[in-house]
């Protein structure tokens, strides 16, 4: 599928895009933004973010994302795609020099899993880790996301914590041989995910320290943590050695940066100055529908990426 006339669409919507680099104009019908003006950090749009401009084909989406100066992509559902499609996505991302953010390896929000030492659950987790290794072999993705599941109302919280630590250590022992990192995601219990065991950054760090395995990391979802605990930059600093990836979204609304209360420009400058080289997954919606919303998405990231370096 041909990529759309990005410049023409931007003019039509009245959105002014600054700092986007040179324009490559093959014709009036397929001009796109050059990827010469790359972002400072590896913001990673999800495949499908720009389907109004690029269509639904993953390869066309990856090309469009690269053309806008982004340096990474992510696909939560990568593990569920056909192996051949996984390889196609990985090859195209590699060809264009894009990193791929964490794929979802295990995230059953309804099941009480990691909080128990149940033989069937442990066997399920072992099999899931092996499937994750196969995805890594096909794609080269370095990180996989894990949500430890629901907490139990009857079992003492400390016993549940001990069980999560033991299960995470078991999973890390399995995937660690291949170099795959497991990033645990604390999720907010107030707006989106009531009942989950893992909700806070200090809790996640404590588990990582106890697991004591190089494959045990955290994905810091700034949207979720703004709701749960705030204090975003101090928590980033306290957990820095264990953060393997970031997710972002503004609050309220869970849309692109600049649409809510979070000062992403300051946060991004902070992690840039700390030397962060990993992926920042744009795990959020768009505040405006259609092509105009896709252009607003890019404009927002240009704005919050415009810090002094």
Check if the beta carbon of residue 53 is closer than 8 Å to that of residue 81.
Answer: no
- Concerning whether 123 is annotated as a catalytic residue, the answer is no
- Pick the catalytic residue: 92, 181, 283, 294? 283
- Pick the catalytic residue: 181, 185, 256, 294? 185
Angle, helix 201-211 to helix 157-175, in steps of 10 degrees: 60
Nearest to 248 by CA among 224, 271, 269, 229: 224
Give the separation between CA 8 and CA 149, rounded to whole angstroms. Answer: 46
Whose tokens are 């000062």? That residue is 263
- Concerning whether 283 is annotated as a catalytic residue, the answer is yes
End-to-end alpha carbon distance in the chain: 37
Q: Give the DSSP H or E segment for 291.
A: helix 290-304
For the chain, the helix, strand and coil percentages under 3-state DSSP, each to the nearest 5: 45, 15, 40
Check if the beta carbon of residue 74 is closer than 8 Å to that of residue 104.
Answer: no
* Residues labelled catalytic: 185, 283
């Amino acid at each position: 599928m041909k990529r759309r006339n990005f410049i023409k669409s931007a003019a039509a919507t009245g959105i002014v895009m600054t700092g986007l680099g040179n324009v490559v104009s093959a014709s009036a019908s397929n001009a796109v933004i050059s990827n010469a003006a790359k972002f400072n950090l590896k913001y990673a749009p999800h495949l499908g973010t720009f389907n109004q401009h690029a269509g639904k084909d993953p390869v066309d989406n990856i090309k469009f994302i690269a053309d806008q100066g982004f340096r990474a992509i992510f696909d939560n559902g990568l593990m569920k795609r056909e192996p051949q499609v996984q390889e196609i996505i990985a090859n195209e991302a590699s060809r264009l020099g894009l990193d791929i953010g964490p794929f979802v390896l295990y995230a059953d929000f309804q099941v009480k899993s990691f909080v128990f030492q149940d033989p069937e659950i442990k066997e399920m987790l072992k099999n899931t880790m092996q499937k994750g290794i196969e995805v890594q072999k096909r794609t080269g993705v370095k990180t996989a996301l894990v949500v430890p599941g629901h907490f139990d109302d009857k079992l003492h919280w400390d016993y549940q914590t001990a069980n999560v630590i033991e299960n995470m250590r078991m999973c890390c022992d399995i995937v660690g041989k291949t170099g795959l990192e497991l990033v645990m995601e604390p999720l907010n219990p107030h707006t989106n995910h009531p009942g989950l065991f893992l909700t806070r950054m200090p809790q996640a760090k404590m588990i990582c320290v106890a697991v004591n395995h190089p494959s045990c990391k955290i994905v810091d979802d700034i949207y979720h943590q703004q709701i749960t605990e705030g204090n975003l930059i101090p928590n980033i600093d306290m957990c820095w050695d264990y953060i393997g990836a970031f997710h972002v979204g503004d609050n309220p609304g869970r849309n692109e940066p600049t649409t809510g209360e979070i000062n992403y420009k300051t946060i991004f400058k902070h992690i840039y100055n700390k030397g962060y080289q990993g992926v920042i997954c744009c795990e959020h919606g768009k505040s405006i529908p259609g092509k105009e919303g896709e252009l607003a998405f890019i404009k927002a990231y240009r704005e919050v990426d415009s810090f002094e370096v």
